Amino acid sequence: MPVKKLKDYLDSHYIEYITIRHSAAYTAQKIAACSHISGKEIAKTVMVKIDGNMAMVVLPAPSKVNFNVLKDVANAERIELATEAEFRDLFPECEIGAMPPFGNLYGIDVYVAESLTKDEAIAFNAGSHRELIQLAYKDYERLVLPKIVKI
């Protein structure tokens, strides 16, 4: 079960969350429609390489990564989108493209869009294309300690 590692982690930290099951959906916007949550409230995880090191960028579903801003914030020379082949093995219990934005569970830096910090809750793929987890943003930030970026 892809979501077990994440749920165990949340439970061990006494985090309140809800699980939302939905029909299979492969884009953040489709997930928003299936789960009846606004697209701007669904967080998507984009995998990038920062100077060759894997990192997660977490942003609202309709948003795109601004590589120039990320490059400045990370003080990096090179930022590029990671291919599925490059990150597939990092998340063995997750379906490709459904990794939860908890890079701390995988030893990966996390950058989160500042706009998400203004929401009370954050919802995201829970390791599969059929399940979301929603929890308070403040709890997410406390656990993950992401770098906040104006993307």
Q: Bigger pLDDT: 23 or 58?
A: 58
What was the pLDDT predicted at 2?
Answer: 55
Q: Which tens digits make up the pLDDT trace of 8-47?
A: 999 999 999 999 887 787 776 777 767 767 777 789 999 9
Domain range for residue 33? 4-149
As a whole-number percent, the residues of the chain with pLDDT over 90 amount to 66
Distance CA 51, CA 101 (A): 20
**Rounded average pLDDT over 89-113:** 92
Q: Which residues contact 72 (CB under 8 A, 6 or more apart)?
A: none
The chain-wide mean pLDDT, for the chain, equals 90
Kindly give, in sequence order, each residue whose CB lies less than 8 Å from that of residue 119, ignoring residues fewer than 6 positions away.
Answer: 41, 137
Domain CATH code at residue 99: 3.90.960.10
Which segments within 35-151 are labelled E, that is strand? 42-50, 53-60, 79-81, 109-113, 121-128, 131-136, 147-149
pLDDT > 70? residue 103:
yes
The domain total for the chain is: 1
